[in-house]
Amino acid sequence: KNMVTVDNTRVVRKAVKGTEENPGGITSFPAKFHVSAVALVDPVSGKPTRVSFRYQEDGTKVRVAKKSGSIIPRPDALTERTTARRMDVEFNDTAEEDVWQRTYVEPEYVAASVAAPAAEADTPPPPPLP
């Protein structure tokens, strides 16, 4: 997950055993690496750049190139949701009368430990150590 391959970068060589379809030998292919190690391309200069986020006047959040200050558009694949939103929210909501119902019963040992410090407040403190 969150892995990408970039052509002509991080090329690794691997020995492949031969089969009937493939003669085998040593093959080269680009290795995968984490998406956080990939820099976005500045649309003005065409070179890798760091990214900052800013809000436009209409309130939309956009990616901005650090080098040129130009907006980097999001691809269509990133704007679509991959998982559907839950539509049964009303079913899982708690009813208003259930919100105010007391469901926690305090155990006896908790009630006794809360009452004990109040009783000890009337006793004088112990004498200081020599």
Q: Tens-of-pLDDT digits for all 130 residues of the chain?
A: 788 888 888 899 999 898 888 888 998 888 998 988 888 889 999 999 999 999 999 988 999 999 999 999 888 777 776 777 666 555 657 777 888 887 888 888 777 766 666 555 566 767 777 6
Task: Kindly state the helix (H) or strand (E) to which residue 112 belongs, with its residue range.
Answer: helix 108-120
CA distance 31 to 11: 6
Cβ atoms < 10 Å from Cβ of 5: 11
Question: For residues 32 and 39, what is the distance between their CA atoms, to the nearest angstrom?
Answer: 15
Q: Which two tokens stand for residue 116?
A: 């004990």
**Cα of 68 vs its chain's centroid, Å:** 28
What are the CA-CA distances from residue 130 to residues 36, 127 (Å)? 62, 9
